[in-house]
Amino acid sequence: MRGKILIAGAAALTCLGAAGLGAVLLPATAASGPAAGSRPVNRPASASELPLVSDLAAYKLVQAQRLPRSPERSRLDEACSGYRPKKQSAVAQWVRRAGWIVTSEAPLGKFKVVSFVSGFDPGTSGLCFARNANLAVFDQGRLVALAFRKHSTSKDDDTSPLGPVEALEDGSGLLVWTDPPGMPVGELRLAETGLRLANRAKAHRYCHGRVKVPDIYGEDIPSARKMLSAEGWRPDPPAEKPGKLDQARVWVEKGYVEAERCAGTGVGYCSWNYRAAAGRLAVVTVGGGGTGQGDTAVSSYGVECAAR
């Protein structure tokens, strides 16, 4: 199970720019769902529409009935082909026909959430970085909401675009990721009769509730280790110690016996292992590499449940 390893409201339909929601009004040439017509809709929201809330200052979650076409002719670079799922639902295929590249989809109660981008820029370490990333929410095949990064004119704005979505095992909502090697920016949850784009929860349960993993995303490995220890996770040394040339060896020599391996190039991935009575936890960090210092940051983790 992975805790693992992206626009427009009813009042106006706009297209995402490189830094967020653009200011150019676009005609809504795509229909509101696979079975709907193609007539543009541009009307104020009514009281009967879906209640939406975003707790994340840098991101919006808004009403939408129409999906603009992609601002560019979407061609997926071969190096980024793994970012597009092979199987796509009817609503995901409908998003694709509007010129977008679908990157993920997941159910949320009665809703279906689809993440999509206009394109990717290939980067180092096999990473690809999204252009014009969004989330679309469908209710029985009908587009009802869109989420996106707010537009910013600041050259210093480094807010990540929204990325793929992933269902949480405890059923509390969907993790909303950012560009790799980033971590989840928040969670999309059911809220009364509507939806909420919320901050990450302080912890999540896995293995049918038998284990709890605190919110270690973004923490350096010394801090993450303490947080995990408080929830019953203990370091789990790998079967083979890191080799002499593996930068994980520096961490092992400092007492972090759970270090399995570190990449000496790229974004500095390191892998770490922990164990509890109900399962194993594999953690991935970026940055820091073999410095043996607290400048790593947890970017993802995965839980493997023990047999009951």
Domain ranges of the chain: 52-152+159-200, 206-305
161-187: average pLDDT: 92
pLDDT grade, residue 294 (50/70/90)? low
Q: What is the pLDDT of residue 153?
A: 62
Helix (H, G, I), strand (E, B) or coil at 233: coil
Region of poorest pLDDT, from 24-28, 121-125, 248-252: 24-28
Look at residue 46 and tell me whether its pLDDT is greater than 90: no
User: In this predicted structure, what is the pLDDT of residue 33?
Assistant: 52
Does 230 score more than 70 pLDDT?
Answer: yes
Return the minimum-mean-pLDDT range out of 13-17, 62-66, 73-77, 86-90: 13-17
Predicted local distance difference test score (pLDDT) of residue 219: 96
Residue of 145, 136, 185, 150 whose CA lies nearest to 51: 145
Query: Could you tell me which of 113, 35, 101, 44 has the C-alpha nearest to residue 69?
Result: 101
- Mean pLDDT to the nearest integer, 160-181: 91
> Taking a C-beta distance cutoff of 8 angstroms, is the pair 120, 130 a contact?
yes
Question: Is pLDDT above 90 for 94?
Answer: yes
Question: Alpha-carbon distance 172 to 190, whole Å?
Answer: 8
246-272, pLDDT tens digit by residue?
989 999 999 999 999 998 766 889 999
Q: Which stretch, 16-20, 39-43, 304-308, has highest mean pLDDT?
A: 304-308
Tokens at 223, concatenated: 């801090």
Of all helices (H) and strands (E), which one includes residue 2?
strand 2-3
pLDDT of residue 268: 86
Percent over 90 (pLDDT), the chain:
61
Q: Is the pLDDT of residue 25 over 60?
A: no
Q: What is the mean predicted confidence (pLDDT) over 110-117?
A: 96
Tokens of 194: 């509507």
Say what the pLDDT of residue 204 is: 96
What integer best gives the mean pLDDT of the chain?
A: 82
Region 40-45: mean pLDDT is 36
d(Cα 269, Cα 181) in Å, to the nearest integer?
9
- Extract the runs of DSSP E, i.e. beta strands, from 128-193: 128-131, 134-139, 142-149, 162-167, 174-178, 186-191
| Reported confidence tier of residue 160, pLDDT bands at 50, 70, 90 | confident
Structure tokens at 248: 């994980």
